[in-house]
Structure 1
């Protein structure tokens, strides 16, 4: 492989047209410049310059080398700046979270991208276990989870609480155990967990969600309330998922006497410095969760 330092000396010599001034520009000796040219000629097995006293002209090989090497030298010269650059509003940021909080945060991040088109938001909806694994395997930059990570390589910090809500058809004004049993449960991937937290705190009869007749199941966060809106059953969902439902007048939300909620944990790769663009996204996520500018800027 050709030494890039030799190429830089050769290209600078061609541009300056004088050995002494080239040496001054590169902070070298004139003999050092000459030596680099000779090493290039030896490496390529061809003469690059036709010398005439203190003057020179390029051979055909020298002309071809200068044409090819110019872009290489320019790219190498700019490499330090490009590698060291850490812009706050440019580049891809990969985010992953469960669906409910994703419905809340994604519009905020799209608005951020509209203000700064150099940013590209890659947002994936996934359960906690997938978020945790993706962080551990460097497949995402930041995540939200609803439980602390059990992996040593994944750090986390609580950033908010998301209330859990009982959602029924509008016809049910006062929920009771018997009425819920008559309706049946619209299940979802976190249905048993959410029902256990909220219904277990409010109904002494409750032991597990499978006590209720199964009235339906959906694994699409935006569709779970669709069967509820049609009077087919009830469910328990985080508040952000309920807020995102497009027909709120067709369901009834109940806040029970004993509230229950899930803690939201900002999750990240432990001991890995965060790029400025990731910090920008984290700040916007914090604001989307209702944190003040100062709080959201100090999440990690």
Structure 2
């Protein structure tokens, strides 16, 4: 069995990329770091580092060990924390979601934290694909998605739906296909998914988003509607993202003939049991939908 102390030294060295700084972080001597790496290489019977003077790079074996070892270390840290404290109202919960969900969910969770200040809510906004990857890599305890996950490490279930709406500049009263093509599309990280769902059901001419010229992009949920409000294009967004925009008179929200909603899923790592505080978070979000 690999010594977890040696493994932690190795993974820290890979992340810091400097022997002296690794020693400082782990409160060791530089020779102690070197000794741990040497013992680890002897134990696994292969070289993990290729040394180039004071610099180093990882061998193929070193890359594999870091990828798997860092996941193991996170699992051990999680298990230790869970054994120490499994209160439903205290401890850190790392959450990720697309911005449209986060605009609603984050305020709900801050209200929960206000009631139970032993909770530490760590909330990060990211596209669906990044949220799913974070859960798979143990960088998030809980993920909220608007697409069903595809990674085998991630399990999920549906907790609600949210309408998708077409948004144009305020002067567009009837969003014909021609009007949309002339405007152009303001893209965002989940734009292709949103547009495919809504436009394909309401415009016979629509086949794929590349048919429409792109006139802008923003990955900040609070800024996506800024170019729309200036007449630079249209977009498709979930209802919560639209309701949060602070210049509603400059945009026009259109409820199309064939309404479409996207599903909202909660997900977590398949092989990691949920701590009680995570169940508290999920219950709070379900109650808000």
Report matched runs for 1:53-72 at 5 Å: none
Report matched runs for 1:94-133 at 5 Å: 94-133=94-133
Following superposition, the deviation at residue 273 of structure 1 comes to 2.1
- Cα RMSD of the aligned pairs, angstroms, is 1.8
CA distance in 2, matches of 1:286, 1:236: 24
Following superposition, the deviation at residue 92 of structure 1 comes to 0.6
Report matched runs for 1:1-300 at 5 Å: 83=83, 85-288=85-288, 290=289
CA distance in 1, matches of 2:185, 2:107: 30
Partner secondary structure for residue 223 of structure 2: coil
| Deviation by residue 1:155-181 (Cα, 9 ceiling, x = unmatched) | 100111121100011111111111112
Structure 1: runs of 5 or more not aligned? 1-81, 291-300
8 Å CA contact retained: 2:128, 2:190: no
Following superposition, the deviation at residue 115 of structure 1 comes to 1.3
8 Å CA contact retained: 1:104, 1:244: no
Q: Say which one has the larger Rg.
A: 1
CA distance in 1, matches of 2:188, 2:83: 45
Partner secondary structure for residue 100 of structure 2: helix
Q: Which residue of 2 aligns with 1:21?
A: none
Following superposition, the deviation at residue 251 of structure 1 comes to 1.0
CA distance in 1, matches of 2:234, 2:284: 33
Q: Which residue of 2 aligns with 1:34?
A: none
- Size of the alignment, in residue pairs? 209
Structure 2: runs of 5 or more not aligned? 1-81
CA distance in 1, matches of 2:151, 2:245: 34
Following superposition, the deviation at residue 224 of structure 1 comes to 0.5
